Structure 1
Amino acid sequence: MFNITEFWLFLFQISRKDFEGFKKLFHRFLQVKGPSVDWPKISRPPEESIQPYDRIKAKGLPDNITVSLNKLAVVKLNGGLGTSMGCKGPKSLISVRNENTFLDLTVQQIEHLNKTFNADVPLVLMNSFNTDEDTKKILQKYKHHRVNIHTFNQSRYPRINKESLLPIAKSMGTSGENSEAWYPPGHGDIYASFHNSGLLDKLIAEGKEYIFVSNIDNLGATVDLFILNHLMSQPADKRCEFIMEVTDKTRADVKGGTLIRYEDHLRLLEIAQVPKAHVDEFKSVTKFKIFNTNNLWISLPAIKRLQEKNSMDLEIIVNPKTLDGGLNVIQLETAVGAAIKSFNNAMGVNVPRSRFLPVKTTSDLLLVMSNLYSLDAGSLTMSKKREFPTTPHVKLGSSFTKVQEFLARFESIPDMLELDHLTVSGDVTFGKNVSLKGTVIIIANHGDRIDIPAGAMLENKIVSGNLRILDH
């Protein structure tokens, strides 16, 4: 292992920019003690700082929205792997609907926008060292689409031994015994990496003024023309430099970051920053009614100004991990939304829940593959046949965790238009043309198996025990 001097010399080999970034983050980590917020100083944001979406939509659109679109670039956060869903490679390459991947749907959305409005909205992918190579190979297939695609890489930082606070890397490599030694430091790294890559300056030179940033696995995060128009129609001296899309919390979102007023600034508060004594209060749906969707609209000249002045202060998120061999490590991360306090005239927009449709698990995947949604030009919209605007609550057990296992358990995706709640646990399979309505709970105990027969209609049913359907 290294001593501290060898550590810095070793890090310096990564790249000067990564080295400087990690050094700054690590020094701040050593200096900060306790939670980064003083709880009594927290208050609700003033009403005017979070606008309802309907008020922004009511302004309508100008005839020349193409002018505004030509000042926009779409940035997708593409650093994540599909390992939590049992897939190798970038998560963006998982098929989510009709053989279309997250990346396919994104390209289709932007191409449709460019064709419809005769615009030039480029797509920018922020890759990590985990996803860059595989993503670039796939990009060849979009050569003839009407979308200019750019990529840049976020930083690569070393994981730190929790006890010694020294890096666990043995060399610069990212394979073999070193495969778990490095990590991409969260999406807050976008500002420095975007600036360092030269792409920020390139887009500004091309006349781009704003980026719309979102997670690539959020299928609800499409370019919204009303929010874009709101940004572009502000007086130059009062131009809003940062919009965070927020939406109303449900019980499923209690851990999501929320907007607060803190020392006269709008600020993002994440659960990791909350003192333990106040975690239940933070999760309260009555006190903190909204959460951050991570759909963000950010001024490019403002990013350049803040980076050049080195004045973007992002709170450190200490993410503890246990590696396969049992070693406890920490990785220091930052969140892209935490920068809201650094931008002028920043605000939140309370958007419909439909703009937050993340696919983190196969339970989410079941929803977006079902007839609850229709697909048009890469965008998913809730079926008009669904009577309720909310999605059903779906909870699939561990037998469904991996995508391949999940797909093998459905001969076809069930009709879910009238479903409210679905819980499935154990060894369960679904035949073709199954229909689920109301609340359906299917529990196969250990050693049992349940085959839901083709054409079955389950409405407000609990199914348990053993139900085998054998070919004969």
Structure 2
Amino acid sequence: MAAVAAPPSSDTLDRIRLELATLDQISDSEKSGFVKLVGRYLSGSAEQIVWEKIQPPTNELVVPYDDLVPVSEDSSEAKYLLDKLAVLKLNGGLGTTMGCTGPKTVIEVRNGETFLDLIVKQIETLNSKYGCNVPLVLMNSFNTHDDTLKIVEKYQNSGLQVKIFNQSQYPRMVAEDLMPWPAKGQTDKSGWYPPGHGNVFDALQNSGMLAELLAEGKEYVFIANSDNLGATVDLKILKHLIHNQNEYCMEVTPKTLADVKGGTLISYEGRVQLLEIAQVPDEHVGEFKSIQKFKIFNTNNLWVNLKAIKRLVEADALNMEIIPNPKEVDGVKVLQLETAAGAAIRFFDKAIGINVPRSRFLPVKATSDLLLVQSDLYTIEDGLVIRNPARTKAENPAIELSSEFKKVADFLKRFKSIPSILHLDSLKVTGDVWFGSGIVLKGKVIVEAKKGEKLVLPDDLTLEDQLVTVGPTYSSL
């Protein structure tokens, strides 16, 4: 749960209000939203989870995907459903962790196509196939807005509606006294932050985008991270929600050992609720990480009823758990308060989870993920990233690349071509390693270049259960 930085103090909030009044970079609604967030943080009003009350969710609360009723082959049903839908991609993140500038959505995934190109192609194909008009909505941050405006110009003649709005812009607080940093002279971008994707609901309302979508007859919005290549429109899910009048649905998928820190859905006092690791008492963290007890985790693919968003935002009822995020920027210790959209599940009526196949969770957070989607494990068709059926194992290979591969540009130049990894279990690459073309990797492979030395793997090499070191020398694992 959120830790309290200082005792509740109306004086602190009054001082924050006075400082905010001097800033003209943000709107009055952003200022009031920020003050409310800080006030909740200072009050320590977060509800404590009583561990003994946690129950595993039933199949009514977390519905198995295989229980969903298919949509009929008659395209009129699909059109009926899709005409009620808008697709919203969270587009506030920069590609800095992968060595890129600008929005992460412009990173090339494969064959010269970016995340955004693939998303646009997916929705264009749906609209063309069923004669519907699903719009693409991008929630930007102040970091990505200007670049995104230029990028989407290329889709002007595509026939697809691309709508853009910004999430809120909040001031970072100086940790020492919790005063807004921009009011102390830090007026460039580093003085501000986007307050997490939990802000999507307020931002939809404050920007006018919510009213616009409702006026167009839209009833549901499918919200997903822009870098999750598995987050595509699913007609079975949409049909289930409309038929059962579920106001909110979170897609969850079975946990693996790589996902043990991910938030999970629980039954709590008869309602479905998201449990994050930060809410777990220290003595139960090991239990939380167990994939035997907590078997599913949040993919952040969310389906939400638009009228329900309007009702709850207007009632000021979406008080999601606060995530304090301390940072050091330009030598100054600052604090930013954030919320997550998944935590809103407990405020909606008839909220459910759906336990979806792992294929709907394919995020690209690092170049190791990029290697997977650029490889022969996947093909791309109409913007959809489709897993190769020749891969017999359910799990993807575990890929670990050293810092030499961290930036996309460095990653790409170190591969003449992406190796075949259809029969790979794990790959660990360390040091100044370069891959030739036509390489095939199988089983467990470790490639190590010793410090100060360069290792070039020749073209058309096959490695199976081998350790490769400078030389190159090969030994079996």
For the superposition of Structure 1 and Structure 2, which TM-score range results when normalised by the shorter chain?
A: over 0.9
What is the DSSP-based 3-state SS (H/G/I as helix, E as strand, rest coil) of the residue aligned with 2:165? Answer: strand
Question: Aligned residue for 2:128?
Answer: 115
AA partner of residue 453 (structure 1): P
Report SS of the residue matched to 1:255.
Answer: coil
Matched, 1:70 2:54: no
Once the two structures are superposed, the pairs formed by residues 351-430 of structure 1 within 5 Å of their partners are 351-430=356-435
One-letter amino acid of the counterpart of residue 320, structure 1: P
Matches of 1:19 and 1:334, distance apart in 2: 16
Q: Whole-Å Cα distance in 2 between the matches of residues 296 and 75 of structure 1?
A: 10
Deviation by residue 1:389-422 (Cα, 9 ceiling, x = unmatched): 3211111111100011101100111111111111
Tell me how far apart the structure 2 counterparts of residues 163 and 423 of structure 1 sit (CA, whole Å): 42
The answer to whether the 8 A contact 2:19-2:183 is kept is no
- 1:87 alignment counterpart: 100
Question: Could you tell me which of 215, 219, 233 is aligned with 1:209?
Answer: 219
Cα pair distance change 1:326/1:40, threshold 3 Å? farther
DSSP 3-state at the match of 1:366: helix
SS in 2 for 1:440: strand
Structure 2: distance between partners of 1:330 and 1:466: 49
User: How far is 1:6 from its partner?
Assistant: 3.8
Distance 1:33 1:118, change over 3 A: closer
| Paired residue secondary structure (1:422) | strand
* 8 Å contact kept, 1:12–1:19: no
Residues 23-62 of structure 1 aligned to structure 2 (within 5 Å) = 23-32=35-44, 36-57=48-69
**Equivalent AA in structure 2 for residue 223 of structure 1:** V
Matched to 2:282, the amino acid is K
Q: Is the 8 A contact 2:71 2:235 kept in 1?
A: no
Structure-2 residue corresponding to 1:199: 209
Deviation at 1:170, TM superposition (A): 4.6
Quote how far apart the aligned CAs of 1:16 are: 0.4
Deviation of 1:246 (Å) = 0.2
Contact 1:394 1:422 in 2 (8 A): yes
User: How far apart are the structure 2 equivalents of 1:164 and 1:5?
Assistant: 14
Contact 1:94 1:102 in 2 (8 A): yes
Shift of 1:168: 2.1
Aligned-pair distance for 1:274?
A: 2.1
Match of 1:287 in 2: 293
Q: Secondary structure at the match of 2:133?
A: coil
Query: Any idea what SS the aligned residue of 1:180 has?
Result: helix
1:10 alignment partner in structure 2: 22
Residue 377 and residue 39 in structure 1: after superposition, are their counterparts in 2 closer, same or farther (change >3 A)? same
1:157 has 2:170 as partner = yes
Equivalent residue for 2:439? 434
Number of the residue aligned with 1:277: 283
Asked whether the equivalents of residues 397 and 427 of structure 2 are also in contact (C-alpha less than 8 Å), the reply is yes
Corresponding residue SS for 2:182: coil
- Specify every segment of 5 or more residues in structure 1 that has no aligned partner in the other structure, as ranges: none
TM-score by length of 2: 0.92
Quote how far apart the aligned CAs of 1:34 are. 7.9
Distance 1:33 1:464 in 2: 56
Give 1:10 deviation, angstroms: 3.0
> Against the structure 1 CA distance between its residues 300 and 149, is the aligned structure 2 distance closer, same or farther, given a 3 Å change threshold?
same
Matched residue type, 2:60: E
- Structure 1 residue 457 corresponds to structure 2 residue 462: yes
1:114·1:146 contact (CA, 8 Å) conserved in 2? no
Once the two structures are TM-superposed, the CA of residue 275 in structure 1 deviates from its matched residue by: 2.4
CA positional deviation for 1:349: 0.4
Specify whether residues 221 and 82 from structure 1 end up closer, same or farther in structure 2 by C-alpha distance, changes over 3 A only: same
Deviation per residue, 1:13-68 (Å, 9 max, x gap) = 62101001100000000011788423333222233211110110457566521011
The structure 2 residue matched to 1:221, chosen from 227, 231, 236, is: 231
TM-score scaled by length of structure 1: 0.93
In the alignment, the residues of structure 2 paired with residue 182 and residue 151 of structure 1 have an alpha-carbon distance, to the nearest angstrom, of 20
| Structure 2 Cα separation of the partners of residues 251 and 287 of structure 1 | 13
Cα shift readout 1:326-351 (whole Å, capped 9, x = no counterpart): 43222100001111111110101000
Report how far residue 302 of structure 1 moved.
Answer: 0.5
Letter paired with 1:129: F
Q: Which moved more, 1:412-421 or 1:61-70?
A: 61-70
Shifted more, 142-151 versus 370-379: the winner is: 142-151
> Pairwise mapping of residues 205-354 of structure 1 onto structure 2 (< 5 A)?
205-234=215-244, 239-323=245-329, 325-354=330-359
Instruction: Give 1:11 deviation, angstroms.
Output: 5.0
C-alpha distance in structure 2 between counterparts of 1:335 and 1:419, whole Å: 35
Cα distance between partner residues in 2 of 1:328 and 1:276? 26
Which 10-residue stretch deviates more, 383-392 or 60-69? Answer: 60-69
Root-mean-square deviation (CA, aligned residues, Å) is: 1.9
The answer for unaligned runs of 5 or more in structure 2 is 1-13
Does the 8 Å contact 2:65/2:356 carry over to 1?
yes
Any conservation in 1 of the 2:433–2:454 contact (CA below 8 Å)?
yes
Which whole-Å CA distance do the structure 1 matches of 2:336 and 2:292 have between them?
33
Map Cα deviations across residues 228-285 of structure 1 (whole Å, 9 max, x no partner): 1112223xxxx11011100000011011111112233211111222223322221111
Of residues 166, 181, 199, the one that matches 2:191 is 181
Residue 112 of structure 2 is matched in structure 1 by: 99
Instruction: Give the letter for the 2:239 counterpart.
Output: N
